[in-house]
């Protein structure tokens, strides 16, 4: 079997999720398109990154991402660092001829994202943004149903992504609450996911009218030493127009008490509707306008665990559900297949072009909220 040497930047939440997938993939997706080889991991804190290398099973570690990219054994850069270290390492890796997987949002704004896209086009290697919810079996089934025309003319798309983890006013001002590091708040952190799902399932957004809100304007610094202003959004809400005249709504917040990872979406068409709830990720609810043979009509809950459903043939017998962490197995298997068999990442995976288009939409939402007007998305 072909192996692919992996270099990882960052080792926290997403690093753990990705390593879990790299290790699980060779015996779940069998035979695998390639076997990931954990070459090196990089981070600024030497004690922490050394511990991460030992814990995850990387052969070595670096405290400078430049050394990670210079390592000839690294063929794929997996960039799970904070948003402010997405562009420079990814561009350097692309220029060195490495394939790149970058966490979302791909960049802090569209200008930065365009620089990354241009570098990817020049490099001619495989590039992917880690919009892992494209690889939830129920979401892929929703995509397939809509794109095959089973819902008819699409009229509505609505999505919300709600969490509550920063509602405490004394929660520290981490990098996610600093515009210089993050680019935006709930918009880039959560909103980029549902923007990607709108594009993936329904089509391209064409115009937006939005509002943003920062509820707590100042927070304590993580290491003590006073307080600092919060200069990103805590929440946003937007009305969008998409391809074909479809209208929709997008909402994201980190201030919805009781909501831990509440991502929901619904699509309404002329022939039917579908809805999805990430916290019940093995289920897709569908409604067909035409009555069935019994003369009844209503919503049907489809348990997406049959061997004929997307991705499930690699897993367990019907009814044995899979989890959030398994989306990364599907995502990375898709990328490795593209690398070793020279297949296209798009349209099922999100490329750097998708990351750039997502950043353009995020910028348009911020522009609309700032100026109080509808903004056309070019």
pLDDT of residue 287: 95
Q: Point out the least confidently predicted range of 52-56, 58-62, 153-157, 287-291.
A: 287-291
- Confidence band, pLDDT 50/70/90 cuts, at residue 362: very high
**Rg for the chain, CA atoms, rounded:** 21
Contact 286, 302 (CB under 8 A): yes
Residue range 62-86: mean pLDDT, rounded: 98
pLDDT of residue 291: 64
Rounded to 10 degrees, what is the CA torsion of 53, 57, 59, 65?
Answer: -40
Looking at the DSSP bridge assignments, the partners of residue 239 are 209, 249
Please tell me the pTM assigned to this model.
Answer: 0.96
Q: Is pLDDT of 296 > 70?
A: no
- Could you tell me the pLDDT band of residue 151, with boundaries at 50, 70 and 90? very high
Mean pLDDT of the region 173-184: 97
Distances (CA, A) of 33 to 103, 127, 136, 316, 352: 22, 17, 19, 20, 22
Classified as helix, coil or strand, 89 is: helix
Domain ranges of the chain: 3-132, 136-371
Q: What is residue 298's predicted lDDT score, i.e. its pLDDT? A: 84
Q: Which residue has the higher pLDDT, 47 or 1?
A: 47
Least confident range from 15-29, 273-287, 294-308: namely 294-308
Question: Does the pLDDT value for residue 297 go beyond 80?
Answer: no
* Res. 294: pLDDT tops 90: no
Whether 288 has a pLDDT exceeding 70, the answer reads yes
Check whether 293 has a pLDDT greater than 90: no
CATH of domain 136-371: 3.30.360.10
Q: Does the structure show a pLDDT above 80 at 147? A: yes
- Over residues 209-232, the mean pLDDT reads 94
- Rounded to the nearest angstrom, the gap between the alpha carbon of residue 192 and the centroid of all alpha carbons in its chain is 7
Q: Do domains 3-132 and 136-371 have the same CATH topology?
A: no
Give the tens place of pLDDT for each residue, 224-239. 779 999 999 999 999 9
For the stretch 237-260, pLDDT in tens is 999 999 999 999 999 999 999 999
- Which residue would you say has higher pLDDT here, 289 or 155? 155
For domain 3-132, give the fold.
Rossmann fold (3.40.50)
pLDDT of residue 340: 97
Rounded Cα–Cα distance for residues 265 and 124 (Å): 35
Q: Of 2, 20, 3, whose CA–CA distance to 11 is shortest?
A: 20
b/e burial code for range 10-38 (CB count within 10 A of at least 16 → b): bbeebbbbbbebbebbbebbeebbbbbbb
Percent of the chain with pLDDT over 70: 98
Do 285 and 220 contact (CB within 8 A), yes or no?
Answer: no
Average pLDDT on 119-139 reads 98
As a whole number, mean pLDDT of residues 18-22 equals 98
Element containing residue 101 per DSSP (H, E): strand 99-102
Contact 69, 93 (CB under 8 A): yes
59: three-class secondary structure by DSSP: coil
User: 4: Cβ–Cβ under 8 A, 6 or more apart, which residues?
Assistant: 34, 35, 36, 37, 75, 76, 99, 336, 339, 340
**Distance of alpha carbon 321 from the chain centroid:** 21
- Could you read off the pLDDT of 82-112 as tens digits, one per residue? 999 999 999 999 999 999 999 999 999 999 9
Q: Terminal CA-to-CA distance of the chain, rounded, Å? A: 44
**Cα–Cα distance, 267 to 242 (Å, whole number):** 12
Separation between Cα atoms, residue 360 and residue 111, nearest integer Å: 9
**Residue 243 in contact with residue 203, Cβ under 8 Å?**
yes
């Amino acid at each position: 079997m072909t192996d692919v040497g992996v270099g990882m930047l960052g080792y926290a939440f997403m690093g753990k999720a990705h390593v879990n997938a790299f290790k699980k993939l060779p015996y779940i997706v069998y035979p695998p398109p390639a076997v990931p080889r954990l070459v090196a991991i990089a981070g600024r804190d030497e004690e922490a990154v050394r511990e991460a290398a030992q814990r995850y099973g990387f052969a070595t570690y670096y405290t400078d991402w430049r050394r990670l990219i210079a390592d000839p054994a690294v063929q794929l850069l997996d960039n799970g660092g904070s948003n402010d270290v997405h562009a420079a390492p990814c561009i350097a890796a692309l220029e060195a001829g490495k394939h790149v997987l970058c966490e979302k949002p791909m960049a802090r704004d569209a200008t930065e994202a365009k620089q990354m896209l241009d570098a990817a086009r020049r490099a001619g290697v495989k590039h992917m943004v880690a919009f892992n919810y494209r690889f939830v079996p129920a979401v892929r089934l929703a995509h397939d149903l809509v794109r095959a025309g089973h819902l008819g003319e699409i009229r509505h798309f609505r999505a919300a992504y709600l969490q509550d983890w920063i509602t405490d006013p004394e929660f520290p001002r981490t990098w996610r609450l600093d515009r210089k590091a993050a680019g935006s708040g709930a918009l880039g952190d959560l909103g980029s996911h549902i923007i990607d799902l709108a594009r993936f399932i329904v089509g391209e957004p064409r115009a937006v009218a939005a509002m943003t809100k920062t509820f707590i304007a100042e927070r304590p610094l993580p290491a003590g030493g006073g307080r600092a202003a919060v200069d990103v959004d805590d929440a946003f809400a937007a009305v969008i127009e998409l391809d074909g005249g479809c209208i929709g709504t997008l909402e994201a917040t980190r201030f919805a008490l009781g909501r831990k990872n509440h991502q929901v979406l619904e699509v309404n068409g002329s022939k039917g509707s579908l809805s999805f709830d990430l916290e019940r990720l093995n289920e897709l609810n569908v409604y067909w306008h035409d009555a069935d043979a019994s003369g009844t009509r209503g919503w049907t809950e489809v348990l997406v665990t049959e061997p004929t459903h997307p991705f499930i043939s690699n897993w367990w017998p019907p009814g044995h559900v899979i989890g959030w962490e398994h989306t990364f197995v599907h995502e990375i298997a898709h990328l490795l297949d593209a690398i070793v068999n020279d297949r296209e990442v798009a349209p099922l995976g999100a490329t750097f072009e998708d990351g750039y288009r997502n950043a353009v939409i995020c910028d348009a939402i911020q522009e609309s909220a700032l100026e109080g007007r509808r903004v056309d998305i070019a």
